[in-house]
């Protein structure tokens, strides 16, 4: 089957059900005056259309990678955070295996410091996809003595996720974990292959990866090793948003401009809430913001923005001069913060 036939067939198979889903969600995610609300799902009224140009090629490539995962591995899973990239991966997995169910579970490593809106959206989407969801808690790792909470006043659990993730992969005997990382996000992720080998300790060695000539992927490994697989590696942030627009996908309202109490901490706007409280000398202000990435509340910064729909976000992203992870406090801890975490087994 050639690339055009694949992309067109996938889009037509999805059409009717996607339109029905959007009709049910027509009024969800907007307030009475029609503006987006952060605590709900932001719907897109535009029906999915056949993809054109480079988006069709990217979709076909990602679907091919997902099918390779199902063919080569016995116990894969899809790492799901409720962020836009993992939502797109779940959407692609649904397309790749329709009319059947997604043949592997979604795995969420819950830090306990998530935005509440993310968890509400996660549960709703999993039900809609008729997918299996496995949740593992960082708090359980802390209680078991496997991980230690940071001593900081607003401790981030982002680094602690690695312990919980590796324990979950061992418990579920996962041999391939599909993730939504993209090469344009960060310089460490730019080194990733589609099939990224991890050793017996879950560690990543960027200098010891397999060649992927002619899109031939080598999934061979020893029994105690596994792979991380990144089907949207070649996508950019702009590609993600253009694909969301063309497919009429729903997202958490956090991605759209809304008013929220924030505190400016070392140049990062953190959302004030149960896990982030103002420190001495800090001032809480109410700003119109949105989030370009979604992670721990303690390390995910907001951007001042007036973009309240997908078209406005596409314009904003196209003109942006700061990467979407530019306001992630965990990435500012050192010049090689992401690579250091990845070498220890991070996503």
CATH number, domain of 127, equals 3.40.50.620
Residue 18 sits in the same domain as residue 59: yes
pLDDT band at 252 (very low <50, low <70, confident <90, very high): very high
Note the pLDDT of residue 205: 85
Residue 190 sits in the same domain as residue 300: no
| Residue-wise pLDDT tens digits, 201-232 | 888 888 888 888 888 999 999 989 999 999 99
Note the pLDDT of residue 207: 83
Beta bridge partners of 178: 78, 229
pLDDT band at 110 (very low <50, low <70, confident <90, very high): very high
Query: Which among 145, 164, 125, 117 is positioned nearest to 294, based on CA atoms?
Result: 117
Q: What is the pTM of this model?
A: 0.81
DSSP 248-261: T--EEGGGS-EEEE
Structure tokens at 228: 């991380």
- Asked whether residue 220 is assigned to any structural domain, the reply reads yes
Q: φ, ψ for residue 9 (rounded to 5)?
A: -65, -40
Residue 220 sits in the same domain as residue 257: no
Radius of gyration, alpha carbons of the chain: 20
pLDDT band at 84 (very low <50, low <70, confident <90, very high): very high
The neighbour count for residue 258, using CB atoms within 10 Å, is: 22
- Asked whether residue 246 is assigned to any structural domain, the reply reads no
Query: Which among 36, 94, 86 is positioned nearest to 295, based on CA atoms?
Result: 86
Note the pLDDT of residue 30: 37
The alpha-helical segments, DSSP class H, found in the chain are 3-24, 53-72, 84-97, 116-129, 138-143, 161-172, 237-247, 310-319, 337-343
Residue 12 sits in the same domain as residue 90: yes
Note the pLDDT of residue 295: 83
Note the pLDDT of residue 170: 95
Distance of alpha carbon 36 from alpha carbon 42, whole angstroms: 7
> Would you say how long the chain is, in residues?
347
154 has pLDDT over 70: no
Q: What is the mean pLDDT of residues 28-40?
A: 41
- Asked whether residue 208 is assigned to any structural domain, the reply reads yes
- Structural domain boundaries enclosing 315: 253-332
The neighbour count for residue 182, using CB atoms within 10 Å, is: 22
- Asked whether residue 342 is assigned to any structural domain, the reply reads no
DSSP 114-128: --HHHHHHHHHHHHH
């Amino acid at each position: 089957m050639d690339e055009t036939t694949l992309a067109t067939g996938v889009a037509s198979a999805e059409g009717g059900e996607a339109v029905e889903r959007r009709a049910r969600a027509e009024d969800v995610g907007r307030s009475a005056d029609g503006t987006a609300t952060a605590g709900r799902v932001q719907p897109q009224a535009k029906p999915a259309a056949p993809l054109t140009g480079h988006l069709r090629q990217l979709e076909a490539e990602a679907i091919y990678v997902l099918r390779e995962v199902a063919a080569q591995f016995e116990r894969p899973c899809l790492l799901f955070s409720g962020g836009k990239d993992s939502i797109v991966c779940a959407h692609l997995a649904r397309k790749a295996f329709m009319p059947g169910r997604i043949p592997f579970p979604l795995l969420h490593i819950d830090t306990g410091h998530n935005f509440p809106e993310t968890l509400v959206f996660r549960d709703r989407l999993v039900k809609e996809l008729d997918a299996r969801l496995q949740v593992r808690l960082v708090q359980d790792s802390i209680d078991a003595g496997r991980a230690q909470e940071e001593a900081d006043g607003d401790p981030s659990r982002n680094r602690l996720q690695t312990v919980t993730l590796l324990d979950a992969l061992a418990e579920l005997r996962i041999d391939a974990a599909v993730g939504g990382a993209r090469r344009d996000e960060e310089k460490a992720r730019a080194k990733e292959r589609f099939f990224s080998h991890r050793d017996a300790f879950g560690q990543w060695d960027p200098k010891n990866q397999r060649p992927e000539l002619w899109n031939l992927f080598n999934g061979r490994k020893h029994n105690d090793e596994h792979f991380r697989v990144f089907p949207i590696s070649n996508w950019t942030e702009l590609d993600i948003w253009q694909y969301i627009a063309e497919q009429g996908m729903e997202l958490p309202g956090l991605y759209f401009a809304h008013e929220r109490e924030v505190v400016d901490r070392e140049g990062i706007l953190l959302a004030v809430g149960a896990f982030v409280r103002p420190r001495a000398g800090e001032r809480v202000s109410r700003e119109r913001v949105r989030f370009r990435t979604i992670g721990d509340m303690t390390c995910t910064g907001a951007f001042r923005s007036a973009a309240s729909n997908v078209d406005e976000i596409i314009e904003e992203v196209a003109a942006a001069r700061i990467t979407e992870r530019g306001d992630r406090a965990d990435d500012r801890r050192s010049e090689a913060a992401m690579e250091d975490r990845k070498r220890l087994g991070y996503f």
